Amino acid sequence: MTVSEERSKKSHAGEHTTAGPPAGSLRSVLRFDLPASFVVFLVAVPLSLGIAAASGAPLIAGLIAAVVGGILGGLISGAPLQVAGPAAGLTVIVAGLVAQFGWAATAAITVGAGIVQILLGLSRVGRLALSLSPAVVHGMLAGIGVTIAIGQLHVMLGGANQGSVLTNLIELPGQIIGLHPGALLVGALTIAVMVLWPKLPRVNVVPAPLIAVGAGTAVAAGFQLDLARVSLPSDIINEVVLPQLPSGPVLAIIGGVLTVALVASVESLLSAVAVDKLHDGPRANLDKELVAQGVANTVSGALGGLPVTGVIVRSSTNVAAGAKSRWSTILHGLWMLLAVLLLASVLRQIPMAALAAVLIVIGVRLVSVAHMKQLWRHREMVVYAATLLGVIAFGLVEGVLVGLAVALVRAFYRLTHSTVDVANEDGRWYVGVRGSLVFLGAGRLVRELRAIPLRESVVLELHVDFMDHGVFEAINDWRIGYERTGGQVRVDEVLDSWYHRAIGGRPARRKSVRPNVPPRWFAPWSHWQQTEPLDVELPAQAQNEDHLIAGIRAFEKHAAPLVRPFLSDLAEHGQKPQQLFITCSDSRVLPNLFTSSGPGDQFSLRNVGNLVPGFGEDASVGSAIEYAVDVLGVQEIVVCGHSDCGAMKAVLAQSVTGPSALHDWLRYAEPSLLRLAATAGEDAELPANERLCLANIGQQLENLLSYPNVAAAVAAGKVRLVGMYFEISSAKVFLLDADRRALRDITV
């Protein structure tokens, strides 16, 4: 039984503590969700009215959507902390549908979109929406932001939204000449408050949109400005416009339903994922969230409301305000309902210029400079720009399709692109090929190969993750023809054996590295060499080449360029290792591998049995310890034993007899035998040689303290002694506890 198997039988008691009442409990709702719901409600009121106005819908439609999204969406949501309601991202789409079909028909289209969302959620395709390129999504949002900002600028200047971005830009000079000074004053004040309020200390817990709209309304009332204001009917309930079946081209109606459904779904799912990053509670169930959004849209459209989506502005406000459960979202919907029924007279005092100013700020913020920088670093700016300009020039759906087309072209290029590097070194030609090899790139590769002079020695190195039949034939035909003219060709494959397997009649079909073959930089040379097809006749040089020399050649070709900068720096500034690592000479024990360390990290001392003779007993070990502590100033000394240790087996069986150097050396392990006898009965399930391995680690740590410089450094807190055990069969590392009698699993 190994140490891992023995330890797996032991159970460990754990403690569970919570920072407060459980989420969803009455105490948690009163303490966290109730206050948060008021904050979200104050943000949602001006946004719902402004989005409805920008969409060309009745203002009551925005409030209905907020109520339904909050109460119904919150009850069945798959993302409990996400807040649903009317969203700025759908403004352009809804405005276009209202202009084409009228508001009543648009409400019916919203019902149809909700049904489509429910079907998508039940089909468990919610997560597929996240496959949409982020560059397209951010470009779409930026295009929407520009469209909203330019359109609402007319409203803030006292005019009306002219429709398309191009029309608004053409009419803007005339609107500026004929601006309404009062509307401009209210709008400018609202924008200033929106920008400056969040920067004020201690007061920014109150939402900026609420304060901004309140300030604009107060100025309009104080100066008795003659401005267009929120128009709510006196009898709100009887003025609700219920849906009617749209009349017009069937394809246009179906397109409207699918557009609303898909855009609302993508925005909701992206918002849910973003909200997950803001809290440490339960993760969102995207399929359930899609069903919830569909139900909310079906009901909202049936009641004459705007389309509903999950919105990041209100959702992030919800999390920041301390919400712990879905009750915050539900309560915010209740407050919206009470506002519609009881505060209609207050809402009618809000100037449209103030709501337009709020939307201008929101629209500008959708054009995120931070996202642009990230996309630029990842070389996705072309997709972003194409989507943004497409949305502005042609409309939302057309712009997204343009962005998707550009993204697909770039993805196709990246998937099929390969690099070919040709170099002549020491009389031999090296051709390095990296990427995916498909027939589209075969022509370029063959041109590079044919440019190599005849009757030369060529090494073709394939660093590829895929090779189709067309490229294989092109390479193989060139190789056969080149060798007929007297040249020599050797094909080396680094990631996988696509070429050699194809020669052997076993071509691969999937773009993946074989899972059962270790990477060549990691596995022993003999292991990966034997994985090559046996029916392939390798060149004589490759067959007869010494394993050691071949390994050095592989290092110089592949690893040396990567590690050279680090070694150059170490050569210039000297070594400053943090550890003296004492371990066994066993070939299976690779400290740099299981400690994830590299050049300059460890000062190593290896011998048979990882033994540390006492002070003055062995000059070789003693000099290494003194140099590590006094000269290099290491901070740790690690003694690492391992399972299946041949030295410990020999000591236990007394199988090495003298006179011999090995016999003399293993006498230093006799104190470990005495230590094993003193711990008889402990870890009885382990074999005796494994228990001796553990006892030996503790003994060598004690031997280290016999060195005066080590004892002084440990006492001063400058050096720490660490016992470590490496189990070969499971590739698992354990630490020795402070009492040096038990192992501790570092992963627990």
Active-site positions read 584, 586, 588, 642, 645
Q: What is the CA radius of gyration of the chain?
A: 36
Alpha-carbon separation of residue 470 from 59, 258, 467, 499, 501 (angstroms):
62, 40, 8, 12, 15
Estimate the crossing angle of helix 181-196 against helix 134-156, to 10 degrees: 140
- The separation between the first and the last C-alpha atoms of the chain, rounded to the nearest angstrom, is 20
Is 227 strand, coil or helix? coil
Comparing CA positions, the residue from 313, 230, 270 lying closest to residue 58 is 230
Residue 398, amino acid:
E
β-bridge pairing 743-745 and 732-736 = antiparallel
**Tokens representing residue 732 in the block:** 């698992």
**Locus of tokens 């994830």:** 596
Angle at 593 between CA 584 and CA 644, to 5 degrees: 40
Buried-exposed string 376-388: b where 16+ CB fall within 10 A, e elsewhere: eeeebbbbbbbbb
Query: What is the rounded distance in angstroms from the CA atom of residue 632 to the CA atom of residue 48?
Result: 67
**Residues for the chain: how many in total?**
748
Question: What residues contact 144, with CB distance under 8 A and at least 6 apart?
Answer: 88, 89, 91, 92, 363, 366, 391, 396
Query: What is the rounded distance in angstroms from the CA atom of residue 748 to the CA atom of residue 744?
Result: 8
**Locus of tokens 């006799």:** 670
Contact in structure between 59 and 78 (CB atoms under 8 Å):
no
Contacts made by residues 339-347, CB under 8 angstroms, sequence distance 24+: 339/41, 339/45, 339/63, 340/60, 340/63, 340/64, 340/67, 340/236, 341/236, 344/232, 344/234, 344/236, 347/45, 347/49, 347/230, 347/232
Residue 279, amino acid:
H
Give the rounded distance of the alpha carbon of 725 from its chain centre.
34
Query: What is the rounded distance in angstroms from the CA atom of residue 211 to the CA atom of residue 192?
Result: 11
Contact in structure between 64 and 303 (CB atoms under 8 Å):
yes
Bridge partner list, 464: 435
DSSP assignment letter at 494: S
Residue 289, amino acid:
E
**Locus of tokens 């309902």:** 337
Element (H, E) at 310: strand 309-310
**Locus of tokens 């060529």:** 458
Let me know how many helices (H) and strands (E) the chain has, helices first.
33, 12
- For residue 469, report the phi and psi dihedrals to the nearest 5 degrees: -65, -35
Comparing CA positions, the residue from 632, 583, 572, 591 lying closest to residue 608 is 583
Bridge partner list, 618: none
Contact in structure between 664 and 658 (CB atoms under 8 Å):
yes
Contact in structure between 261 and 117 (CB atoms under 8 Å):
yes
